[in-house]
Chains A and B, each alone.
Chain A
Amino acid sequence: MGFFTDTSVCIGCKACEVACKEWNMIPEDGLNFTGMSYDNSEGLSADTWRHVAFIEQRLPLGEQETSGARPASAGGGGAPVDLGMPSFDLPGAQTGEAERGDFRWLMSSDVCKHCTHAACLDVCPTGSLFRTEYGTVVVQEDICNGCGYCVPACPYGVIDKREDDGRVWKCTLCYDRLGDGLEPACAKACPTDSIQFGDLDELRERAAGRVERLHEEGITSARLYGDDPDDGVGGAGAFFLLLDEPEVYGLPPDPVVTTRDLPDIWKHAGVAALTLLAGLTATFVRRRG
């Protein structure tokens, strides 16, 4: 089971962030203004399991491509319809389209990827992280000893250590709700169905259809991220439809499970250990001989 997050319909309402906090009783993580954008939760952390990124881009309005996302059958080809509401003029309406600012917003709700090859789970020295019957990755909080090894091991920067209790926390994909036949809180709260929950194979099929549809509408920048079961993490349990490169959303372009090189790492360490033993032995042998 997993998530498909279709960022092309995300409106940045952050309902998922709030629903996640409410359901999982996650402590407040600072009411601060970052000054970098309207995004004040910055990224995933021990106390932010869903994070909505706000990407402001200086792109011409023509590239916003929102009109293309409307179904052709709706008619009008995306032209604005006057609803007769009292309003101010649109910015730049007096001066013409060319004078309007180049600007677009991309919004994307990020979450733990629940990797098929999960580095956090691999490196956990206590067995606190485990794979559930739903194929998701969950931390057992009573066993986590706060060593923090999973934090630098995660290639996505998801799992994090909570300052005051010293243990690590991350999205559980609402393990408790799944057991009761409920969908995760974030997916439940999403008003635009940007976050979809379900069987991964079915979601991948749906996502591929959505990308095809967007391409047909001329939105060629749409691409899937994390959907490939042959990628560096064996396919993510949470994948995304993005409208720009992954790094623009704060995602790594080509994440690889950190333990992929581990056999090679152990081999090099073994040779180094033998080198040390042989070298130090030689310091004595030479004297005798």
Chain B
Amino acid sequence: MSTSDVTKQGMRGARPGREALTGSKRVRRRRGDRHAMVPEAEFRSYYGKPVLNQVPWAATDIAGYLFLGGLAGASSVLAAGAELTGRPDLARAMKVGALGAISGSVVALVHDLGRPARFVNMLRVCKPSSPMSMGSWLLAGYGPLAGAAAATSVTGLFPRLGTAATLGAGLVGPAVASYTAPLICDTAVPSWHEGYRQMPFVFVGSGAAAAGGLGMLAAPVGQAGPARRAAVLGAGLELAATELMERRMGMVAEPYRTGRAGALMRAAKTLTAAGAVGGALLGGRSRLASALSGAALIAGSACTRFGVFHAGVQSAADPKYTVVPQRERVRESGLISDQPKVPKAREASEPAAG
């Protein structure tokens, strides 16, 4: 058992003594209780190299895609609500916002693929086992609806078609806002996969907060009431779900608190909380306060997605987050003990040695 290692940070651990004699009985005894000498928590890896290959996605493309998808989906729901309750200015702002956001997310996706023609390959199959395949079909259905809703709203043409498209987009919107959570959680990346129960709620909360922020930013104060409530509701859900997720994850939550991901998550919490509180208290009175709160909420939502993205990247880069939880799982299940397998053969060899 290795007790010392030369690492980039210098020497780790102490060199073992020289009492071991090659081939002697004492060596065997030493091996027998070596597990007692090595601390259980010691984590081993192949020169600290990651077990997983790194996520090949560019942060601006895919984290941006996650953010814009959430913003678009939740905006469409608000747009449908505003349309039905007679708030034309809010409805128009949300429809245009949804179209802008979903267009941006498709551009980000295609940019990440490299060539536009490659997106067509996504529509070769329809696989429920692949959240990305499901997402492609969702986008293919939602995109035209959001486009028709925004176009009819801006031009004033075909109002009935516009209403139908607005309601359709509003119904598909929640799926667009939430499917990105399965997209990243259905991977082997520890800090994403472990959070799969709470991640959809983090994402829809974040999407609602961003859409509410957009409504506060773009619509007149008098019509932005639902947007303010959506922002408060979304921010509350996002903050609560994030907190719960980090608590439930155990050590795999560490990447959410350290490095770039930690900074982004802290910024997200501050911006989201400030935007929600500011919007709730002052948003109804001042146009400026409403716009500022809205901007803070949108920025907070973006920070959440980038933070989640980077936390996954950080967790995949460190073999600790892959090995330690799996090792614990193995130990708990008792399928494979830390002792070498097949103790029968070991017993058989011991008397011969003694």
Contact = CB atoms under 8 A, between A and B. Distances in A.
A259 B189 CA distance: 12
Among A146, A157, A261, A270, find the residue whose CB has the most chain B CB atoms closer than 10 A.
A157
B64 interface: no
Contacts, number: 300
Nearest to A143: B121
A31 interface: no
Interface string B319-348: 100110011011000001010111001101
Interface string A239-260: 0000001011111111100110
B50 interface: yes
Contacts of B114: 146, 166
Interface string B171-209: 101110111011001111100110011111101100110
B197 A268 contact: yes
B47 A124 contact: no
Interface string A59-81: 11111000000000000000000
A146 B46 contact: no
Interface stretch (A4-12, A175-183, A192-200, A208-216): A208-216
Interface in B23-69: 23-24, 27, 30-31, 43-47, 49-57
B22 interface: yes
Interface in A230-289: 245, 247-255, 258-259, 261-262, 264-266, 268-277, 279-284, 286-288
A145 to B, nearest CB: 4
Interface string B291-304: 00000000000000
A160 B56 contact: yes
A186 interface: no
B85 interface: yes
B204 A273 contact: yes
Contacts of A284: 81-82, 84-85, 226
Contacts of A123: 129-132, 186-187
Nearest to A53: B46
A135 interface: no
B327 A247 contact: yes
B346 A97 contact: no
B125 interface: yes
A211 B345 CA distance: 10
Given A145-B118, A284-B85, A287-B85, A253 B327 contact: yes
Interface stretch (B1-9, B95-103, B265-273): B1-9
Interface stretch (B13-21, B144-152, B251-259, B279-287): B13-21
A280 B20 contact: no
A173 B271 CA distance: 51
A283 B230 contact: yes
Interface string B225-248: 111011001100100000000000
A99 to B, nearest CB: 7
A270 B203 CA distance: 12
B77 interface: yes
A151 interface: yes
B130 A265 contact: no
A153 B234 CA distance: 29
A39 B46 CA distance: 11
Contacts of B128: 266
Contacts of A268: 181, 196-201
A16 interface: no
A249 B319 CA distance: 12
A63 B16 CA distance: 14
A266 B47 CA distance: 37
B129 A122 contact: yes
Contacts of B169: none
A145 B187 contact: no
A127 to B, nearest CB: 4
B164 interface: no
A264 B203 CA distance: 17
Given A36-B47, A273-B174, A62 B125 contact: no
A152 B52 contact: yes
A136 interface: no
Nearest to A212: B345
Nearest to B228: A283
A224 B340 CA distance: 10
Contact of A279 (B73, B130, B233, B348): B233
Given A58-B3, A61-B22, A145-B119, A252 B230 contact: no
Given A273-B177, A284-B84, A151 B55 contact: yes
Contact of B174 (A58, A252, A276, A282): A276
Contacts of B56: 148, 151-152, 160-161
A101 B172 CA distance: 67
B318 interface: no
A214 to B, nearest CB: 8
Contacts of A221: 340
B100 to A, nearest CB: 19
Contacts of A143: 121, 124
Contact of A60 (B20, B46, B177, B329): B20
Contacts of A224: 341
7 contacts: A58-B15, A122-B129, A145-B119, A220-B340, A220-B349, A250-B46, A276-B177
A-B pairs with lowest CB-CB distance, top 8: A215-B345, A250-B46, A272-B200, A145-B118, A125-B133, A273-B174, A148-B56, A60-B20
Interface of B: 1-5, 15-16, 18, 20-24, 27, 30-31, 43-47, 49-57, 73-74, 77-78, 81-82, 84-85, 112-114, 118-119, 121-122, 124-125, 127-133, 135-136, 171, 173-175, 177-179, 181-182, 185-189, 192-193, 196-201, 203-204, 207-208, 211, 225-227, 229-230, 233-234, 237, 312, 316, 319, 322-323, 326-327, 329-330, 336, 338, 340-342, 345-346, 348-349, 352-353
